Structure 1
Amino acid sequence: MKPDKDRPSTWKKYDADNCSRCRANCCAMPVEVKASDLVRLGVASQDEVDNSIKKLAKRLKKEKIITSYREGTEFFMITQKANSDCYFLDSRTRLCTVYERRPDTCRQFPAQIGARVGFCPVEWK
Structure 2
Amino acid sequence: MIARPATHRAAAMRKPPLIADADLDRLETWAKYSSGLCRDCHASCCTMPVEVRIGDLIRLGVVDEFEREEPAKNIARRLSKEGLIERFNQKSGIFTLTRSSNGDCLYLDRKTRLCTVYAKRPDTCRNHPQVGPRPGYCAYRKKQA
TM-score range, shorter chain: over 0.9
**1:52 Cα deviation after fit:** 2.5
Amino acid at match of 2:136: G
Supply the RMSD in Å over aligned alpha carbons. 0.9
- Separation (CA, whole Å) in 1 of partners of 2:140 and 2:119: 21
User: Could you tell me the percent identity over the aligned residues?
Assistant: 47
CA contact (8 A) 2:86 2:98 kept: yes
Number of residues paired by the alignment? 124
- Separation (CA, whole Å) in 2 of partners of 1:16 and 1:69: 33
Amino acid at match of 2:44: N
Instruction: Provide the TM-score with structure 1 as the length reference.
Output: 0.95
Asked if 1:91 corresponds to 2:71, the answer is no
Which among 111, 120, 123 is matched to residue 138 of structure 2? 120
**1:16 Cα deviation after fit:** 2.1
- Separation (CA, whole Å) in 2 of partners of 1:54 and 1:116: 30
Gaps of 5+ in 1: none
- Separation (CA, whole Å) in 1 of partners of 2:133 and 2:73: 28
CA contact (8 A) 2:21 2:142 kept: no
Amino acid at match of 1:123: R
**1:5 Cα deviation after fit:** 1.4
Larger relative contact order, structure 1 or 2 (CA cutoff 8 Å, min sep 6): 1
Q: Secondary structure at the match of 2:36?
A: helix
- Separation (CA, whole Å) in 1 of partners of 2:141 and 2:73: 38
Which among 83, 87, 91 is matched to residue 72 of structure 1? 91
Q: Secondary structure at the match of 2:77?
A: helix
- Separation (CA, whole Å) in 2 of partners of 1:114 and 1:10: 15
Q: Deviations over 1:77-121 (max 9, x none)?
A: 0001111100110111100000000000000010x2011100001
CA contact (8 A) 2:42 2:140 kept: yes
Q: Which residue of 2 aligns with 1:60?
A: 79
Higher gyration radius (CA): 2
- Separation (CA, whole Å) in 2 of partners of 1:52 and 1:43: 16
Instruction: Provide the TM-score with structure 2 as the length reference.
Output: 0.82
Gaps of 5+ in 2: 1-19
Q: Deviations over 1:26-74 (max 9, x none)?
A: 0001110000000000000121121221211111000000011111110
